[in-house]
């Protein structure tokens, strides 16, 4: 782990165990046993770290923006191209969001035909104190820039930024909201409302309008596909899909509590009560009548 603020790094490292802390990122790269690098420093520090990782042949996951200015970004691209092999992955994490992936799969599948437009919304409750009007573009909308390129599989060819009268909820001088239009190499149009002081929520939505239907994500429910006269939401076909996260969370919670010497989840009493009720239910299924449920006295161990 490397951080100019060594004290902060020591604190973070302590929570993991077995981690050596460095002030200098390059020294960290040269430490024994380094197999891959995760760069999460501020953007201006990225170029140097990326080039150092390339020089050592180390795979690297680099937070976005890869390099804030495009000249530096091009130097990174050229360096990797000279290497002749791919080492860098950039942290555009929307490509890993379940809803975006479903939308991408739908567009790639071709059922809705060619995408004509993307309507995007990017709202935050409020912006940090040092947020500038340009950062609505290069910090916030940069997510939509990558998402649009990825979803459409096309480069963006022109951009127009429109400025409605700023919200009185935005800090003095900040142009917020903005409305951004992108044109693409394939003639599609992408519009983005970016509103970082909306006050009401973190909302990231995207509607792809295609030749034979539209699909919308990010709207407090699963992807809605409109085509052929109806608006549809997919219904899970399997409990593993519906409850995958619950199973993960259950095992993690059990492991964590067990490490602390505790039991925090459903108890043996809960298991017992379920058996008694289920047995009464099966009796009722046979008798077609109401069946009372009789539990043994609850041991003190299971007092609520």
> Contact letters (x/-) for a copy of itself, 251-290, by CB under 8 A?
x-xxx-xx--xxxxxxxxxxxxxxxxxxxxxx-xx--xxx
Please enumerate in sequence order all residues whose Cβ is within 8 A of that of 241, keeping only pairs 6 or more positions apart, or say none: none
Between 109 and 290, CB nearer to a copy of itself: 290
| CB nearer to a copy of itself: pick between 23 and 231 | 231
For a copy of itself, the binding residue among 6, 26, 45, 77 (CB under 8 A) is 77
CA 11 from centroid of its chain's CA atoms: 26
Structure tokens, 303: 């007092």
Phi, psi of 191 (to 5 degrees): -120, 145
CA distance 88 to 24: 20
Report residue 262 as tokens.
């505790």
Q: Report the 3 state secondary structure along 56-68.
A: CCCCEEECCCCCC
Q: Which stretch binds a copy of itself (CB under 8 A): 1-9, 19-27, 88-96, 102-110?
A: 88-96
How far apart CA 36 and CA 239 sit, in angstroms, is 36
What is the footprint of a copy of itself within residues 139-198 (CB under 8 A)? 141-142, 145-146, 149-150, 153, 155-165, 167-169, 175, 177-182, 186-189, 191, 193, 195, 198
- On whether the CB atoms of residues 142 and 69 are closer than 8 A, the answer is no
- 67 in Cβ contact with 43 (< 8 Å): yes
DSSP letter, residue 136: I
Report angle CA 35, 41, 46 to the nearest 5 degrees: 75
Does 20 participate in binding a copy of itself (rule CB under 8 A)? no
16 binds a copy of itself per the rule CB under 8 A:
no
Residues in 21-60 at the binding interface with a copy of itself, rule: CB under 8 A: 35-36, 50, 59
Q: What residues from 198 to 257 belong to the interface with a copy of itself (CB under 8 A)?
A: 198-204, 209, 211-214, 220-222, 226-239, 241-243, 245-247, 249-251, 253-255, 257
4/212 with CB nearer a copy of itself: 212
Q: Quick one: 21 or 117, whose CB is closer to a copy of itself?
A: 117
Nearest CB to a copy of itself, comparing residues 26 and 209: 209
């Amino acid at each position: 782990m490397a951080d100019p603020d060594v004290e902060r790094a020591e604190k973070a490292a302590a929570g993991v165990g077995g981690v050596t802390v460095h002030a200098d990122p390059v020294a960290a790269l040269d430490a024994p046993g380094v197999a891959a690098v995760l760069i999460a420093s501020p953007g201006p520090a990225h170029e140097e770290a990326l080039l150092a990782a390339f020089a050592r042949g180390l795979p690297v996951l680099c937070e976005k923006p890869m390099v804030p200015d495009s000249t530096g970004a091009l130097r990174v691209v050229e360096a990797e191209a000279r290497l002749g092999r791919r080492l860098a992955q950039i942290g555009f994490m929307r490509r890993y969001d379940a809803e975006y992936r479903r939308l991408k799969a739908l567009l790639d599948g071709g059922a809705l035909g060619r995408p004509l437009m993307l309507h995007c919304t990017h709202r935050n409750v409020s912006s940090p104190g040092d947020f500038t009007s340009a950062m609505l573009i290069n910090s916030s909308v940069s997510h939509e820039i990558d998402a649009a390129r990825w979803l459409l599989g096309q480069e963006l060819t022109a951009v127009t930024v429109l400025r409605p009268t700023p919200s009185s909820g935005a800090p003095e001088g900040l142009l917020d909201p903005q409305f951004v239009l992108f044109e693409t190499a394939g003639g599609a149009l992408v519009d983005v409302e970016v509103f970082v002081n909306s006050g009401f929520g973190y909302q990231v939505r995207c509607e792809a309008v295609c030749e034979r239907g539209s699909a919308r994500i990010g709207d407090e429910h699963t992807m809605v596909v409109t085509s052929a006269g109806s608006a549809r939401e997919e219904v899970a076909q399997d409990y593993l899909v519906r409850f995958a996260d619950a199973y993960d969370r259950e095992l993690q919670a059990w492991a964590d509590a067990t490490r602390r010497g505790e039991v925090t989840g459903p108890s043996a009493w809960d298991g017992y009560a379920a058996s008694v009720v289920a047995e009464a239910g099966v009796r009722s299924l046979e008798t077609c009548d109401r069946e009372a449920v009789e539990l043994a006295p609850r041991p003190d161990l299971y007092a609520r």
